[in-house]
Amino acid sequence: MSRRPSGHSTRAVHAGERQETPRQGVAVPIHQTAPYRFDSAAELAGAMEAPGQEAIYSRNANPSVRAVEEKIAALEGAEDARAFASGMAAIAATLSTVLASGDGLLCSTDVYGGTSAWLDWLTRRHPEVPVERSSLADLPARLEGGVPEGIRAVFVETPANPLLGCCDLERVAAACRPRGLTLVVDNTFATPILQRPLELGASVVLHSATKFLAGHSDVTAGLVAGDAETVARFDETRRLGGGVLDPHAAFLVGRGMKTLALRMERHSANAARLAELLAGHPAVERVHYPGRDPIGSRQMSAGGGMVSFVVRGGWPAASRVMDRLEVFAIIPSLGGVESGVSSPAITSHRHLTAQERAAAGIDEGLLRLSVGIEDGDDLAADLERALDGV
């Protein structure tokens, strides 16, 4: 500035606003800025030529967000990735990107309740987008038998919420490829540490990074990864839709991801032990765990941190177990370092009638555990004590 500013407000806004550091920090800085500053009009004009890649405005691109995108791409074996404000923002952006007007979707019935609700909303608002549903078990044969006219993409969640059913991705991908179908896989429950859908033939893999990837239950985020050409198509969807990840949230996701492999190892060891305990307990009718599923145990390198089980005696017994647990908190989410218990009958599937829940395989006594990284002995003792009481 040619004249030294003397006003308090001007000095308060501009003094100290330099960002050069003598050397690089170990952690990627939190680039907590919405717009970027340019040295000249020509520099701004040049940057505007590639708004998806340049740091112009953080809805287009931001270095803290980019660091997380590079991390998930490296873990999933993808060419590129994009980050979103939540898992649902990632799902909405994915379907808006891969489906054009009139294109239909084949989706497995066992998906997160929010995904189902979004698809219901889509078909109500846009009846021209046909959405077909298929059970996880029937999906491969359904695709091999030929898909209905107009279907352009397939959406699968595996392991699926809340019964933890697993789908043979290699078989589904092999059926999608010759038919030109885009296969989208929600890999939230397995994470790339345990399962890599792109290597099995999927076109796009996505995550609610709110769960295991960030891992500390303190941020919402979504990630999408795939080949460079497909991922580049997400830039316009994100820039216009606006569901971008905040730089501070990106820092939390990136920090969590640094310990993902270690956490998944402990989540899986603890959950496998509890699945075994539950399977032998007289108060338990059924146990669902990917490590006990033939497809899950072949496709994943470990069973993961999610276990579901049916308590004998329906909702009265299940709610007693929830209330008696002490280390497990009642948490309607999953994937954090802390253990949690939830009931699909009163959360994701509460809007269904008892008959509809039964048809979907959701027993009133079904409980879903998100097994954390605490000491296995403490978790086993807590669960056993709660079950012995019913």
In the bound state with ligand PLP, the residue whose beta carbon lies nearer, of 71 and 211, is 211
**Contact between 208 and ligand PLP per CB under 6 A:** yes
Q: Is 114 an interacting residue with respect to ligand PLP (CB under 6 A)?
A: yes
Is 186 designated active site? yes
Distance of CA 304 to the CA centre of its chain: 14
The reply to whether 161 sits near ligand PLP by the rule CB under 6 A is yes
CA distance 206 to 234: 12
Closest CA to 118 of 87, 147, 150, 163: 87
Q: Rounded CA gap, 40 and 60, in Å?
A: 20
Q: Which of 210, 230, 237, 343 binds ligand PLP (CB under 6 A)?
A: 210
Angle at 189 between CA 260 and CA 183, to 5 degrees: 115
94 touching ligand PLP, by CB under 6 A = no
Decide if residue 191 touches ligand PLP (CB under 6 A). Answer: no
Phi, psi values for residue 13, rounded to 5°:
-75, -40
**Which residues neighbour 369 within 8 Å (Cβ) at sequence distance 6 or greater?**
271, 274, 306, 307, 308, 309, 328, 339, 340, 341, 383
Active-site annotation holder among 142, 152, 211, 368: 211
In whole angstroms, what is the distance from residue 57 CA to residue 59 CA?
6
Tell me if residue 357 is catalytic.
no
In order of 44, 53, 131, 155, 238, the CA distances from 50 in angstroms are 11, 6, 35, 31, 15
H helix and E strand count, the chain: 16, 12
Smallest separation (angstroms) from ligand PLP to the CB of 223: 10
**250 class by beta-carbon count within 10 Å (0-12 exposed, 13-18 middle, 19+ buried):** buried
The span of 74-82, 85-93, 255-263, 362-370 binding ligand PLP (CB under 6 A) equals 85-93
Question: Applying CB under 6 A, which part among 81-89, 140-148, 264-272, 375-383 lies near ligand PLP?
Answer: 81-89
Residue that has been written with the tokens 């990837």 in this structure: 213
Select the residue interacting with ligand PLP from 58, 60, 62, 86 (CB under 6 A).
86
Residue number, nearest CB to ligand PLP: 87
Instruction: Using CB under 6 A, count the residues that bind ligand PLP.
Output: 13
User: What would the x/- binding string for ligand PLP be over residues 128 to 157, using CB under 6 A?
Assistant: -----------------------------x
Shortest distance (Å) from residue 352 CB to ligand PLP: 17
Q: Please report whether residue 188 would count as binding ligand PLP according to CB under 6 A.
A: yes
Whole-angstrom distance, CA of residue 245 vs CA of residue 259: 20
d(CA 280, CA 373): 22
Smaller CB distance to ligand PLP: residue 88 or 194? 88
* Cα 189 to Cα 150: distance, rounded to the nearest angstrom: 30
Q: Considering only 23-31, 80-88, 255-263, 288-296, which stretch makes contact with ligand PLP by CB under 6 A? A: 80-88
- CA distances to 44, 55, 106, 192, 257 from 37, rounded to whole Å, are 9, 9, 45, 37, 30
d(CA 65, CA 86): 13
Give least dist CB 13 to ligand PLP, A. Answer: 35
- Smallest separation (angstroms) from ligand PLP to the CB of 360: 16
Q: Does 243 bind ligand PLP (CB under 6 A)?
A: no
Question: Contact region for ligand PLP (CB under 6 A) — 43-51, 84-92, 242-250, 292-300?
Answer: 84-92
Q: Is 36 a catalytic residue?
A: no
- Give 140 or 335: the residue with its C-beta nearer to ligand PLP: 335
Nearer to ligand PLP, 120 or 378 (CB): 120
Token pair, residue 50, equals 């590639």
Is 88 among the residues that bind ligand PLP (CB under 6 A)?
yes
Positions touching ligand PLP (CB under 6 A) are: 86-88, 112, 114, 157, 161, 186, 188, 208, 210, 220, 222
Active site residues: 59, 112, 186, 211
